[in-house]
């Protein structure tokens, strides 16, 4: 499922136009991205939590040459599903 598919489902389920539903989908993802960029945890009850994690700098290997390279520190966005989602996946 992609953004367009999600917007079409929301439009169909809620009597909205596809354009309005797409604006809502885009607004939700923009709000999540803005909160994550600010370092906030995003907790969506019944769905899960998005949390920014720091990945430290480390050494890696270039797979084609085998040479050692430095991988810079970075921030990563992790997701932990809520119990309801885990149960739905495994039910």
Instruction: Compute mean pLDDT per 10 residues along the chain, 91 residues long, and list them.
Output: 96 96 96 96 96 96 95 96 95 82
69 shares a domain with 55: yes
72 shares a domain with 61: yes
Please, are residues 28 and 20 in contact by the beta-carbon 8 Å criterion? Answer: no
CATH number for 91:
4.10.520.10
Can you give the residue range of the structural domain that contains 71? 41-91
Q: What is the pTM of this model?
A: 0.79
Please, are residues 69 and 61 in contact by the beta-carbon 8 Å criterion? Answer: yes
Please tell me what DSSP assigns to residue 74: E
56 shares a domain with 77: yes
Domain count within the chain: 2
Give the per-residue pLDDT at 35. Answer: 97
47 shares a domain with 35: no
35 shares a domain with 7: yes
Nearest to 77 by CA among 51, 40, 39: 51
- Dihedral of alpha carbons 67, 70, 74, 80, sign: positive
């Amino acid at each position: 499922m992609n953004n367009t598919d999600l917007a079409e489902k929301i439009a169909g389920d809620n009597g909205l136009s596809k354009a309005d539903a797409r604006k809502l989908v885009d607004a939700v993802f923009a709000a999540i991205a803005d909160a994550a960029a600010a370092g906030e945890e995003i907790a969506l009850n019944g769905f899960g939590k998005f949390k920014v994690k720091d990945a430290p700098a480390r050494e890696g290997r270039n797979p084609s040459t085998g040479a050692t390279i430095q991988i810079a520190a970075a921030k990563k966005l992790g997701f932990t599903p809520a119990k309801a989602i885990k149960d739905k996946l495994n039910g």
